[in-house]
Structure 1
């Protein structure tokens, strides 16, 4: 398996875009992203109001302020309604008859028992980070066993391919296991660590080895490879389950925060409609007309709920886009694997 056929394990390196873009979309604190978006809005409004000839005079003539903030007031109320819809979406996953809840419980317990059996422990870990870490650690151990199982084979090509595959998997498993240590559910750091274990490619590569070298593997290596694939197949649904729970957690946090910031946004819009008088604002601030600065600041505060929504949705949409498929499917354009074919 040549190096140029193997995609990077880190999700940020498997997708297109600069490191800064990936940081803004995924890793940065959502309030920091919201603050950056608000700064762009404020800077754009002040810049346009300063550069456009007669910008301040246009604000003082007619009733542009009332028209603007009436629209923002309506948009904020609509945004609160959207938040209630998001809450209903999250709650709909938790509501159900007792029979449905029992089926969910039975399914969860059965999956935990399967994982416990596969990793060789009486009870699988209860914390999500430790649950995923156990699967990753066992995958690394079985990759080492696979490498040892073919160490004396006479097929040099098989030994080279298994060694490269195993070394890559072990290194990735060690990195992910270390990053998952002591991570708490509800933080993106835990999800980011789990997303950096490229299990789907590893299943594909392992199955390709199994088919390509079926006559050369030997019974022990073949069994070890099957055991490795089995634990990788358990990691997939486990990660998807915790990803779903994380999205629900994030949407709940988003709902609470938007409800909180909607109150000052509504107040700012109402004050600008009812009490604001452009004639009272004369002079300049740092060379910019005071009226332009005041209107830009009020507008920035009024769009705070919308900017916060954008910040959260950017991350949720990005993660969803790059984890749509479960199993050994590659939906995105990945430079490293563009020419890989299933050849035997």
Structure 2
């Protein structure tokens, strides 16, 4: 087994490039907060450009730039509502199907739940997603402890070191993730966030590598303990992907509803600016800034609300999807933790 330097971090934020602030904005931050920050940036940029650009305010007051701008935004908002309908169709397409297809889905779900129940030693597997994942994580931690005990008397020091590194990493990771899942409610990002921080794929790879390298040194009890550990880790992968998919559907439904709601005021703002706004009615300055620049910037920011909200949601969905493309022990990205992994 390689040294700890070859082991990637358990936390997803540590395994991917970018600062903690960037990862927080992409993943953990409330989507309305991200939307507000994006809108604030748009407003500041528009006011700054209108103020600092020579003749910026005069350009707004001359010709019909305001009407042209908001005609484009009005059309774009209507197009955005059509996009929302497409998103809804995407979600609904996963739920529509003949009774045979629905029964097949039901059978698959029940079979998987029965497999998990057998693996974790209960009559019925938990119903709530957070409890379901927590049960798998807790059992993985217990089996890591059982594996460590099973090789406590091995005469092979390399095997002892390899098992210790794997089990210590796994139990620490399982304890942290279990605490994060305690009380987490599906629908928030907490469940998916905690699941992403359980680096099951690397642990499967490390366990299988131990099994391959030290097969001759493992007695029957240790070999069984290692197989049982790999078994529960292999069940965590599809469970995480299933709940991740459900969360994406949940998020897209919320996004659709919210965009439909904010599209109404955005349309009204664009319509008012086209029909009733007259730059001649706005004279003077506000805090040293031409008031017409502030008014147009504020109206433009409000008209862009549906698009900023869409960007905020899609950023998180795309980020999670990018870093969970593979199920199982594959490394699809370069990390600072793992430069090269030797199998032989």
What is the TM-score normalised by the length of structure 1? 0.99
CA apart distance, 1:16: 0.3
Unaligned stretches of 5+ residues in structure 1: none
1:284 is matched with: 285
- For 1:92 and 1:132, the matched residues in 2 are separated by 27
1:38 is matched with: 39
Q: Does 1:155 align with 2:153?
A: no
1:272 is matched with: 273
- For 2:342 and 2:328, the matched residues in 1 are separated by 17
- For 1:36 and 1:189, the matched residues in 2 are separated by 22
- For 1:179 and 1:225, the matched residues in 2 are separated by 26
Unaligned stretches of 5+ residues in structure 2: none
Q: Deviations over 1:250-292 (max 9, x none)?
A: 0000000000000000000000000000000000000000000
Q: Does 1:112 align with 2:117?
A: no
Q: Deviations over 1:148-203 (max 9, x none)?
A: 00000000111011011101100100110011001100110111001000000000
1:52 is matched with: 53
CA apart distance, 1:218: 0.9
- For 1:337 and 1:207, the matched residues in 2 are separated by 18
2:173 is matched with: 172
What is the TM-score normalised by the length of structure 2? 0.99
1:83 is matched with: 84
Q: Deviations over 1:222-247 (max 9, x none)?
A: 11100100000000000000000000
3-state secondary structure, aligned to 2:131:
helix
How do 1:202-281 and structure 2 match up within 5 A? 202-281=203-282
- For 2:218 and 2:336, the matched residues in 1 are separated by 30
CA apart distance, 1:8: 0.4
CA apart distance, 1:339: 1.4
- For 1:92 and 1:308, the matched residues in 2 are separated by 23
| Total equivalences in the alignment | 343
- For 1:246 and 1:338, the matched residues in 2 are separated by 32
3-state secondary structure, aligned to 1:186:
coil
- For 1:175 and 1:142, the matched residues in 2 are separated by 16
1:2 is matched with: 3
CA apart distance, 1:93: 0.2
- For 2:276 and 2:330, the matched residues in 1 are separated by 59
Q: Does 1:99 align with 2:100?
A: yes
- For 2:32 and 2:333, the matched residues in 1 are separated by 29
1:187 is matched with: 188
2:26 is matched with: 25
Q: Deviations over 1:5-56 (max 9, x none)?
A: 1100000000000000000000000000000000000000000000011111
Q: Deviations over 1:122-149 (max 9, x none)?
A: 0000000000000000000000000000
3-state secondary structure, aligned to 1:339:
coil
